[in-house]
Structure 1
């Protein structure tokens, strides 16, 4: 999820981290699938709040998945007991989403910046939480890498997301989250990484020919390189 007003998103990002202003002038050498204009200030502590009081085990499981990123970034996470934080998590919706990086700063302080509707007993719970926290740190979807060239069967994809159990997506939402490549001056990238935890699983049923990608449960070596370049210690 990205804030729809680009000017406001840019202003919030620069206020948070003046280095974000360099996104179009030389910082492409960092080469990662990241929107530079939405990175948190390096070295800072992000406060993380739960706004709908999940039970202690549920909360603990989210925290354990989130901190999988910590060894690779020069940021700290502080999980706070009140409902106010830089990142605010709601767990009782029926979908999973996160604002991209510093776009979270533009959300009303009483509203969530991240939704984790996935249930603790879901087989991919840890993977989904880690993926959403990747977005919260500024990482985009790897399947939208400009070199991915996934042979989508678009009519089948639209139909699948219109009827999925977790709630429908409109064709415009599918285009934004699956098909539109991040090939703008703000998006810089390494080589395409099919093993990235930021890559959605792709079913053979939704592509033309013989092309699929499983769900990636682990943070990949390129994910690690990406985060260590963007938030260097």
Structure 2
């Protein structure tokens, strides 16, 4: 049966592109040190490692999708997981139980919000959309590209260290025509706008990244080797795999047990994480918090039938106050507290406790 999706590539070689929605830029206090600001911005979209990201096929228009389209998305999630990372992906049927809600609305392009930014949207809203056939080579790459966004990757060609010089008017004209038909604002946001160096980890451009677009000849002026165009990557690159493993290494060790009123020192490098198991001795409200000069994110999960479910969280980055979480915990139940460090200053000593 013929596909109802538009997966055309016109004679000028321009493929259909991901049109990532604009997201508000975080504005930090101007008195933060450059090192502290960079640590916060680099890590702000990342999930705490070990998170189970639940995704739901969100059919808000009631049209239904063919099994091959759904299976390609499932396969794309599995490709990322097969790298050997600490994140888990789980399909659920109820949108209210999901973090990632996937639509297939034609005419709305393909796109995804980035990392934990998906949590800012109502459970009635899509956080990812696919607008063309996912079973073609270009469509398969699109599925992996959008999931890359959902776990924290930005567009690779917007890397400020890439050294790309565009023929900007040709880019606007190319993407303003079929099949994308983008207004100039969309082209600027997704192609010409360079990310802040503070948002980017690493210094090299990876033209083989699944987060890279392919471009037709004449759009890139520099580097000279790409004046003839750049192919659309079809698979996860070696650097894609390196960085996703760096952000989300496999979790092998059982978390250490944390007792009430026990202060636990956090000897962490920026971007690293410590996990703790909590089994409360009594049912009551508890407080959980960090101590010391640090920017950190704490996320508490409850073990429900062997699956960790989000319960509460706090991100204290960018302010000179330690984060606190107040939550009712139940005697004998198992909880896991994950704490990721952005940065420290002053003495650099950081501790965590619940009481």
TM-score, normalising length: structure 2: 0.56
Q: As a proportion of its length, which structure holds more helix?
A: 1
Q: How does 1:84-95 map to 2 (within 5 A)?
A: 84=96, 85-94=98-107, 95=109
Which of 246, 250, 274 is the matching residue for 1:229? Answer: 246
Tell me the alpha carbon deviations over residues 110-133 of structure 1, each in whole angstroms, 9 at most, x when there is no partner.
010001112134331110110010
Mark the CA change 1:222 to 1:93 in structure 2 (over 3 Å): closer, same or farther.
same
Which ranges in structure 2 are unaligned for 5 or more consecutive residues? 1-20, 29-33, 251-355
Question: 154-163 vs 223-232, which deviates more?
Answer: 154-163
CA distance in 1, matches of 2:134, 2:199: 35
**1:140 — aligned with what?**
154
Asked if the contact 2:132–2:139 (Cα under 8 Å) also holds between the matched residues in 1, the reply is yes
Task: Indicate the structure whose relative CO is greater, using CA pairs within 8 Å and at least 6 residues apart.
Answer: 1
Count how many residue pairs are aligned between Structure 1 and Structure 2.
213
**1:191 — aligned with what?**
204
Deviation at 1:165, TM superposition (A): 1.8
Which ranges in structure 1 are unaligned for 5 or more consecutive residues? 11-22, 29-33
CA distance in 2, matches of 1:171, 1:134: 25
CA distance in 2, matches of 1:223, 1:149: 19
Mark the CA change 1:108 to 1:26 in structure 2 (over 3 Å): closer, same or farther.
closer
Local SS of the residue matching 1:177: helix
Deviation at 1:205, TM superposition (A): 3.3
CA distance in 2, matches of 1:187, 1:42: 19
Asked if the contact 2:209–2:237 (Cα under 8 Å) also holds between the matched residues in 1, the reply is yes
**2:23 — aligned with what?**
3
Local SS of the residue matching 1:38: coil
Q: Does 2:75 align with 1:55? A: no
Local SS of the residue matching 2:53: strand
CA distance in 2, matches of 1:125, 1:132: 11
CA distance in 1, matches of 2:243, 2:203: 8
**2:132 — aligned with what?**
118
Tell me the alpha carbon deviations over residues 57-91 of structure 1, each in whole angstroms, 9 at most, x when there is no partner.
22111111222111232101001122331000001
Mark the CA change 1:26 to 1:205 in structure 2 (over 3 Å): closer, same or farther.
closer
Q: How does 1:1-233 map to 2 (within 5 A)?
A: 1-4=21-24, 6=26, 24-25=35-36, 35-52=42-59, 53-72=64-83, 73-84=85-96, 85-94=98-107, 95-166=109-180, 168-208=181-221, 210-233=227-250
CA distance in 2, matches of 1:60, 1:186: 33
Local SS of the residue matching 2:243: helix
CA distance in 2, matches of 1:26, 1:97: 28
**2:346 — aligned with what?**
none
Mark the CA change 1:42 to 1:65 in structure 2 (over 3 Å): closer, same or farther.
same
CA distance in 2, matches of 1:68, 1:26: 33
Question: 148-157 vs 84-93, which deviates more?
Answer: 148-157
TM-score, normalising length: structure 1: 0.83
Local SS of the residue matching 1:89: strand
Tell me the alpha carbon deviations over residues 97-151 of structure 1, each in whole angstroms, 9 at most, x when there is no partner.
0001111011121010001112134331110110010001110111111122223
